[in-house]
Amino acid sequence: MRSVRAIVRAGFDRAEASLGRAFPPAWNPLLNLGALGFFFYWIVVGSGIYVYSFFDTGITQAYASIEYMTHEQWYLAGVMRSFHRYASDALVIVAVLHLLREFGRDRYRGVRWFSWVTGMVVLVLVFVAGITGYWLVWDELAQYVAIVTTEWFDALGIFGEPVARNFLAPSTLDSRFFTLMVFIHIAVPLIALVLLWVHLQRVAKPRINPPRGLALGSFVALLVLSLAHPAASRGPANLATVPDEVGLDWFYLAAYPLLETLPAPFTWATALFLAALALAIPWLPPMRMARPARIDLANCNGCSRCFADCPYNAITMVPRSDGAPFAAEARVDPSLCVRCGICAGACPTAIPFRRAHALSPGIDLPDLSIGFLRERVEAEGARLAGRGRVMVFGCGEGVPLEGLASERIGVVRLACSGQLPPSFVDYVLARDLADGVLVTGCAENACHARFGVAWTEARFARSRDPHLRQRVPPERLRTLWAGRLGRGALEAELRAFARSLEALPPVAPPRRVPGPRAPAEVHRA
């Protein structure tokens, strides 16, 4: 499974990087798949409402009403019909890509199982809605879809008589069955919308709207496609004939030729196996995760910065329980915590300058603690020599850092770039552990923990707590958000940074040997 994930991820990394040449990070379509899904969903709903106002639900009138829209009122209803179809296709495309991307980035296991499973159910509902939509046109394709679908369900043997008998001949056609399809086609997307809301319950500040530039581009692309290649019906359904070649919508109906030609027991077994696999995959194998973030109440003043910064709603603020003179305290829900450490990076007590006691911030990752990071910083700083020394802070999901350390480059790994309290930058420079600091991680707008890059930039820009101290010279701090393919860019950036640091005067405070202090609490990277 790991190698499959690696292949998928490598493909997405390359595709994202390629699109990144044309799109700004905020507009990159592959970095906005979920938001694009919502965008196409709303287009489908809006165009569907318009089309439905002209749609005649009688089984003999349905085809004629759609033909009227397509040919008589092509300039509006016809375009709306095309929007309805192509946005549905685009919805499936972005939903499947979204699923694959999350799989490749291993963001479906552990505490993220919930989003995966609910997303799978939504995807099935999208297919149900799309397939019933083709049914309603009641052209030759609809006839094909209706017959293959009902034959497949009949193979279960749970119906009193074959449902496909409804489509045996024109005289057996039942309008009530058709009305049922209309109901399903409207009800299922509404159920999907409710499930989408559930799907997003475990993420904070979900992006459900694409950036304006991407939305505009997608809309115009759909409009051009609708005008250049309008959605059209085939000939009217006629149960007395077998439809000639049917132009399948392969985004929705790719399985139909298989359902038609392979034995039903095999296709049912395959479908059920794949469905079970899709639902069980977050536990195949179960994710071995580090311990979740932990509150140290003695150092928590209830400031709620961790609550504000957590990307996964894992932190809540609750009334104080220890009698300390603060209104609230943070509480971590381990079932939601992804161990990104962004909360520790937000904590005002995560300050490496503290010496009196063990460095134990109000909230911390037990297995990659702030105290341990300080030890690593000091160890790396003590190793560096010469001019143009750079301390690199990087996350495990961004630019690969293997083999980067050298006499002039120190490397400290973080769970996420957002785990780094800005005071560490000040600490490195004030203690003369390096001449400059470079923070690197995932590509912009592609943070593995969602907000690590954004919060880090905002903290460094002093627009989000905790602020970077004013005394940190900006020329001694750089960030590079390049993702896994950014090793070359990182090395180039490091060379340029080192040269610029060499041209600067030495860091003002002399190198100081740290005084004795209590050891850090946890010691595992």
Partner 1 sequence: MPSPAQWAGQVLFYAVAAGVTGLFASWPSWSRLPPGQAQITIAFAHGGARKEACRKLTPEEIASLPAHERRPSDCRRERVPLRFELVLDDRPLLARTLPPSGLSRDGPSQLYEKLAVPSGRHTVTVRLADSGRASGFDYESRFELELRPRQNLAIDFEPDRGGFFVR
Q: Near partner 1 by CB under 8 A, which window of 255-263, 351-359, 394-402, 471-479?
A: 255-263
Please, are residues 450 and 341 in contact by the beta-carbon 8 Å criterion? no
Distances (CA, A) of 446 to 17, 395, 397, 432, 458: 11, 13, 10, 32, 16
Please, are residues 309 and 455 in contact by the beta-carbon 8 Å criterion? yes
Q: Near partner 1 by CB under 8 A, which window of 97-105, 163-171, 265-273, 476-484?
A: 163-171
Q: Near partner 1 by CB under 8 A, which window of 44-52, 86-94, 455-463, 470-478?
A: 86-94
Distances (CA, A) of 211 to 83, 101, 123, 220, 492: 20, 19, 23, 14, 31
Query: Taking CB under 8 A as the rule, does residue 151 contact partner 1?
Result: yes
Query: Taking CB under 8 A as the rule, does residue 265 contact partner 1?
Result: no
**CB 288, min distance to partner 1, A:** 38
Binding to partner 1, residues 88-147 (CB under 8 A): 89-90, 93
Q: Which of 2, 3, 21, 176 binds partner 1 (CB under 8 A)?
A: 21
Token duo for residue 368: 């990659």
Query: Taking CB under 8 A as the rule, does residue 263 contact partner 1?
Result: no
**CB 180, min distance to partner 1, A:** 20
Name the residue nearer to partner 1 (CB basis): 195 or 232: 232
Q: Which of 3, 75, 176, 228 binds partner 1 (CB under 8 A)?
A: 228
Tell which residue, 24, 27, 90, has the closest CA to residue 222.
Answer: 90
Query: Taking CB under 8 A as the rule, does residue 169 contact partner 1?
Result: yes
Name the residue nearer to partner 1 (CB basis): 28 or 299: 28
Q: Which of 244, 263, 325, 402 binds partner 1 (CB under 8 A)?
A: 244
Q: What angle do CA 257, 262, 263 make, to 5 degrees?
A: 140
User: DSSP string of 437-505?
Assistant: EEEEESPTT--TTSSHHHHHHHHHTTSSSSPPPTTS-GGGEEEEE--TT-HHHHHHHHHHHHHHHHTSP
Query: Taking CB under 8 A as the rule, does residue 171 contact partner 1?
Result: yes
Q: Which of 13, 29, 101, 111 binds partner 1 (CB under 8 A)?
A: 29
Q: What's the CA gap between 20 and 27, in Å, rounded? A: 9
Q: Near partner 1 by CB under 8 A, which window of 18-26, 55-63, 271-279, 375-383?
A: 18-26
Query: Taking CB under 8 A as the rule, does residue 4 contact partner 1?
Result: no
Name the residue nearer to partner 1 (CB basis): 2 or 21: 21
Q: What's the CA gap between 381 and 433, in Å, rounded? A: 4
Q: Which of 31, 222, 390, 447 binds partner 1 (CB under 8 A)?
A: 222
Query: Taking CB under 8 A as the rule, does residue 157 contact partner 1?
Result: yes
CB burial of residue 25 (10 Å; 0-12, 13-18, 19+): middle
Radius of gyration of the chain (CA): 29
Largest CA distance in the chain: 95
Name the residue nearer to partner 1 (CB basis): 139 or 493: 139
Name the residue nearer to partner 1 (CB basis): 130 or 398: 130
Q: Which of 152, 256, 427, 481 binds partner 1 (CB under 8 A)?
A: 256
Q: Which of 75, 161, 385, 470 binds partner 1 (CB under 8 A)?
A: 161
Name the residue nearer to partner 1 (CB basis): 247 or 509: 247
**CB 79, min distance to partner 1, A:** 14
**Taking the C-alpha atoms of 299, 305, 307 and 308 in order, what is their torsion angle to the nearest 10 degrees?**
180
Q: Near partner 1 by CB under 8 A, which window of 103-111, 238-246, 276-284, 301-309?
A: 238-246
CB burial of residue 187 (10 Å; 0-12, 13-18, 19+): middle
Helix locations, 111-208, DSSP H? 113-136, 140-154, 175-199
Burial pattern 213-233, b for ≥16 Cβ within 10 A else e, equals ebbeebbeebeebbeeebbbb
Tell which residue, 48, 243, 238, has the closest CA to residue 141.
Answer: 243
Q: Which of 55, 86, 108, 135 binds partner 1 (CB under 8 A)?
A: 86
Query: Taking CB under 8 A as the rule, does residue 19 contact partner 1?
Result: yes
Name the residue nearer to partner 1 (CB basis): 228 or 356: 228
**CB 479, min distance to partner 1, A:** 21
Q: At what angle do helices 212-228 and 33-54 cross, to 10 degrees?
A: 40
> By the criterion CB under 8 A, which residues form the site for partner 1?
19, 21-24, 27, 29, 85-86, 89-90, 93, 151, 154, 157, 160-162, 164-165, 168-169, 171-172, 217-218, 220-222, 224-225, 228-229, 231, 239-251, 256-257, 260-261
